[in-house]
Chain A
C-alpha cells in the first residue's frame, strides 16, 4: 500500500524497513549498516594503533592482534566501504537517470539483506571461538593452518555478502541500461552514474573469481578437499591468483564511485560543467578494463619470473595515464570556476593531493624490482591507505555531506562538517605519511609489536596520535548526525543552490515515486539547463497519471536469513551432530522463500493521480 503521508509507530517503521523495496530506503539501510561496520572497523584500527604506539607493548596479545588486523581489513573493505558505496548508488543513481526505481526492486532488497547477514555472520566469529586471523587476503598457506573456526566464518560470511554484492551490481547494470528517462543518452549521464555503471560491470566480472576461490577454500577447510594443500597435491598459489583476480578490480570497484562522487562535487561547487566530460567517461571505462590486466602485481615476490613481473609492471603503470587524465580534468573544472568551499568541496580539494600521493607510491610499488624492497613493509600499508582513505573514505564522507539533504531532508551542519574534515584530514596524513618512512626503514607489516632502539618509536607514536585525530573527527561527525536529526531544518529541492543533476529537481527526500512525471532530459546537467532557461522544474515527458509501484516483501529477509542459518550449520557440521540438519533446514528456508516468490503473483499497486497531486503540493511547500 502507498506509504505517502502517514504517521507510524516504531514497530511499523521497523517492519517497513524490513520489507521495503524502495531504493531510497534501501540506501538508508546500507548507510546505517555500512556506518556501523565502519565504526567497528575503526575501533579495530584504534586497537592496532594503540598496540603499536610504543615498542614491546602488551596491550593485546599476538594472536588477538592477528584477529584484529584481519577483521579491520575485511570489515573495512567488504562491510564498510562496499555497502557505503552502494548506499550512495541507491540513494542517487535512479533519480539521476530520471527513473522511478531500480530495475529489480525485490533483488535490490535481497542484495542488501544478503550483505547484512554475511557481515553479521562474519562478526559473530568474535564470540564463537575466535575471528579469522590470516589477514584480509587470507592466503591459503596461512588460512589452512589456522586452528580456530575464524577462517570458516570468513569464507562463508564473504560468500553470502558477496552474493548480495553481485546481485546489486547486476541490478544497477540493468537499471542504467534500461531505465533512463527519455533524452538521457549515455553521453548525457552524470559522471556518478557512469562510475556506477562501470563499477557494476567490474562487480559482474570480478566477483565470480572470488566466489570460486571461496568455494575451494570452503571445500578444503570444511569438506575434506585439497585444492590448496601442497602436501596433498594442491597448490597454495592458486588462492593468491584467484583472490587477486578479484581483489584488484575490487579496489577499482571502490575507487571509481569515489571518482564519480568527486566529479559531481567539483562541477557543482565550481559552478561549471565538468571539464572534459567525454574524456572522463573514456578514462573511467579504460581504468575498469585495465583493472583486470594487473592482478599479478600483488604477487611480484611469489616468483613468477622476470617476464611476468615486467609485463604486469608495465600494465600497472599504464593505469596511471587515465587516472592522470581524471586528475587534470578535475583541476581544470575548478580553474576559472566560482568555487564555494562547502564541506563536500573541501574533501574534494583535499582528495586530489592525497590521492596523487597514493598513486605515485602505487607506481613505485608497480616497479617490480623495487617492489622486492617495499613488499610486506609499512610502505605498502601507507600506499593503500592513501588510495583507500584519501580516495574512497574522503569520497564517502564528502558524498554523505553532499547528499544527506537528499536522503534525509535536512542539511548536516556545515561548521561541524568542517571540524570533522580538518580533524580527519590532519589525522589521516599524520597517521599514514610517516608510515612510508617506517616501511622504507624496514618495519614489516602485520607484526604485532616492534623492538626498541630500531628507530621506529617516534614514527609509530606520531602515527597513533594521528589515528586519534581521525577518531575525534568521526565522533564529531556522529554528533553532527544526531544534532541534525533532532534540530535540523527541513530543506527544499536544491539546498546547495547549485545542483546540476536530476536528483536536485525533486523534493528532499524524494517522494516514493521519485518523479510525478518522468522528465525529458535535454542535455548533460539536465536540471542546470532548465534553471539557466529560467524554469523552476523539469520538462515533463509524459502526462500526469497513476504510477505503478512494487509491493514491499519480507521474502528477501527470509531468503538471506536461511543462508545465514545454513552457514552456521555447515560451519559446525564436523564438531556437532546438529550441524548438518541445521544447515539443511537453513537451505530449506531459503529455497522455500524462493519458491513462494515464484508462485505468488505479485502485481504491485498503483499510486493514484489525486494522491500524487496532493503529495506534490505538499512537497513544493516543504
Chain B
C-alpha cells in the first residue's frame, strides 16, 4: 500500500537520499538547538521575579506546545509523506479532548 514508502531499495538514488538525509539532519539539529533555547527561556521565565505567575504559566505552556510540535514534526517524522492518518488521529484526539475540557471550563464545571 501507499504507506510502504520507506521500504525502498537502498541502492536507488543514493546521491539524492544522502542529500535528503543531510538536510534532515540539519533540520533536526536546528530544532534541537531551538528546543534547548526554549527550555532555557522557560527556566528564565519562571526564575525571573519581574514576571508574575499570570504571565509565566501561560507563557511556558505556549513554549511547551511549540516543543511538542517540534518533537512530532522533526523527530517523529510527521513532516514526511505517509503520515497523514497518524496526524489525523492525533489532531482528532486533540480536538475531542480540547472540546471536552473546554466544555468543563466554560459551561459545565462540576
Contact = CB atoms under 8 A, between A and B. Distances in A.
B103 A296 contact: yes
Contact of B107 (A235, A237, A245, A308): A308
Interface stretch (B49-57, B70-78, B89-97): B89-97
Contact of A177 (B85, B92, B108): B85
A285 to B, nearest CB: 10
Contact of A205 (B1, B92, B103): B92
Interface string B60-103: 00000000000000000000000001000100110010011001
A204 B89 CA distance: 10
Nearest to A181: B1
A237 B99 CA distance: 19
Given A177-B85, A201-B89, A205-B92, A296 B3 contact: no
B108 A304 contact: yes
Nearest to B104: A241
Contacts of A177: 3, 85
A465 interface: no
Interface in A280-304: 292-293, 296, 304
A292 B99 contact: yes
Contact of B100 (A178, A235, A292, A305): A292
A511 B105 CA distance: 54
A205 B96 contact: yes
A237 B1 contact: no
A238 B110 contact: yes
Interface in A305-362: 305, 307-308, 311
B1 A311 contact: no
Nearest to B4: A178
A173 B89 CA distance: 10
Contacts of B89: 173, 201, 204
Contacts of B92: 201, 205
Contacts of B1: 178-180, 182
A307 B92 CA distance: 26
Given A177-B85, A292-B96, A293-B99, A307 B107 contact: yes
Contact of B110 (A201, A204, A237, A293): A237
B92 to A, nearest CB: 7
B3 to A, nearest CB: 6
A296 B92 CA distance: 20
A237 B110 CA distance: 7
A245 B100 contact: yes
Interface string A178-207: 111010000000000000000001001100
Nearest to A202: B96
Contacts of A241: 104, 108, 110
A388 B96 CA distance: 25
Contacts of B103: 293, 296, 308, 311
Interface in B6-23: none
Nearest to B88: A201
Contacts of B104: 241
A245 B99 CA distance: 12
A91 B93 CA distance: 28
B110 A235 contact: yes
Contacts of A305: 107
A308 B99 contact: no
A494 to B, nearest CB: 27
B34 to A, nearest CB: 31
Contacts of A180: 1
Contact of A308 (B85, B93, B108): B108
A305 B104 CA distance: 12
Contacts of A201: 89, 92
A245 B100 CA distance: 8
B107 A304 contact: yes
A302 to B, nearest CB: 9
A173 B107 CA distance: 33
Nearest to B96: A292
A408 B109 CA distance: 52
A166 to B, nearest CB: 14
Nearest to A296: B108
Contacts of B108: 241, 296, 304, 308
A551 B77 CA distance: 32
Nearest to A184: B1
A235 B110 CA distance: 8
A178 B3 contact: yes
Contacts of B85: 177
Contacts of A292: 96, 99-100
A296 B99 CA distance: 13
Contacts of B100: 245, 292
B95 to A, nearest CB: 9
Nearest to B107: A308
A228 B65 CA distance: 32
A305 B108 CA distance: 8
Contacts of A293: 99, 103
Contacts of A205: 92-93, 96
A385 to B, nearest CB: 28
A452 to B, nearest CB: 42
A201 B93 CA distance: 10
Contacts of B110: 235, 237-238, 241
Nearest to A292: B96
Nearest 7 Cβ contacts at the A-B interface: A308-B107, A292-B96, A237-B110, A308-B108, A307-B107, A304-B108, A205-B96
13 contacts: A173-B89, A201-B92, A204-B93, A205-B92, A241-B104, A241-B110, A245-B100, A292-B96, A292-B100, A296-B108, A304-B107, A308-B107, A311-B103
Given A308-B103, A311-B103, 11 more contacts: A204-B89, A205-B96, A235-B110, A241-B104, A245-B100, A292-B96, A292-B99, A293-B103, A305-B107, A308-B107, A308-B108
Interface of A: 173, 177-180, 182, 201, 204-205, 235, 237-238, 241, 245, 292-293, 296, 304-305, 307-308, 311
